[in-house]
Amino acid sequence: MPGSYEPPANDDKEDKEARAALFSGYADRLRAALDKIRWQEDGGDDGYWRDRDVHFFAVLLLELRFKALVELARVAKDEDPPDELVKAVGQLVDWYPREQELRPRPELPTLAKLWEELCKVVGERRAVLHAADLCRVIWGEVTEQRLACWYKWVQHAKERAQDRLDEPSWRELFSKLLPRMPLRGRRKGR
């Protein structure tokens, strides 16, 4: 059929190298955008933005990794080892050591601990992950209230990130994992 795309039947070395180069370039651009978001001060003394004891940059980092994990798990082959999937996500959404120690809220585990626990879920079963899995890792339980809370935090983190990036950067780097919100309801001046 004209105009349709058929992936190559064989995974030759050149094809794998080309995909690795694209992956690496995207990861580098994503990290640069996260650095731009991260260092725009918002009244905090540490260069990160938070509100009401919620560290929204930590929320953004965790949600990005979670969504990347969901997306890569969706397209992974059954024979792909879970640890390779986890490693790829860690390279795609890279965290600095300081970021690994962030907590979405003071009483919650660090991002490093949350990621470690989420990786165990991936290793235990090769099923599609859902927000409920993430909530179970964060709070140890899944309730409608916990899910609503997480969605609210993610929405707030996305608003702040969107306000700090230009439209082409958002579209290229974040729109697949964190779809853009409509303009209605977005806060201006951030």
Predicted local distance difference test score (pLDDT) of residue 82:
79
Three-state DSSP class for residue 55: strand
Cβ atoms 96, 111 nearer than 8 A:
no
Predicted local distance difference test score (pLDDT) of residue 12:
53
Q: Which of 65-69, 126-130, 174-178 has the highest mean pLDDT?
A: 65-69
Q: Would you say residue 146 has pLDDT above 90?
A: yes
Cβ atoms 4, 69 nearer than 8 A:
no
Residue pointed to by tokens 């001060």: 41
Q: What is the mean pLDDT of residues 68-77?
A: 80
- In 3D, which of 26, 133, 27, 16 has the Cα closest to residue 70? 133
Q: Which of 90-99, 112-121, 173-182 has the lowest mean pLDDT?
A: 173-182
Q: Would you call 128 exposed, middle or buried from its count of C-beta atoms within 10 A (0-12, 13-18, 19+)?
A: exposed
Q: Would you say residue 149 has pLDDT above 60?
A: yes
Q: What percent of the chain has pLDDT over 90?
A: 34
Predicted local distance difference test score (pLDDT) of residue 186:
44
Q: What is the mean pLDDT of residues 99-106?
A: 92
Cβ atoms 180, 170 nearer than 8 A:
yes
Taking the chain, what is the end-to-end CA distance rounded to the nearest angstrom? 48
Per DSSP, 140 falls in state S
- Band of the pLDDT at 18, cuts 50, 70, 90? low
Q: What is the mean pLDDT of residues 93-120?
A: 93
- Band of the pLDDT at 21, cuts 50, 70, 90? low
Predicted local distance difference test score (pLDDT) of residue 74:
76
Domain spans of the chain, in order of start: 13-173
Q: What is the mean pLDDT of the chain?
A: 78
Three-state DSSP class for residue 63: helix
Per DSSP, 51 falls in state E
> Cα(76)–Cα(100) distance, rounded to whole angstroms?
26
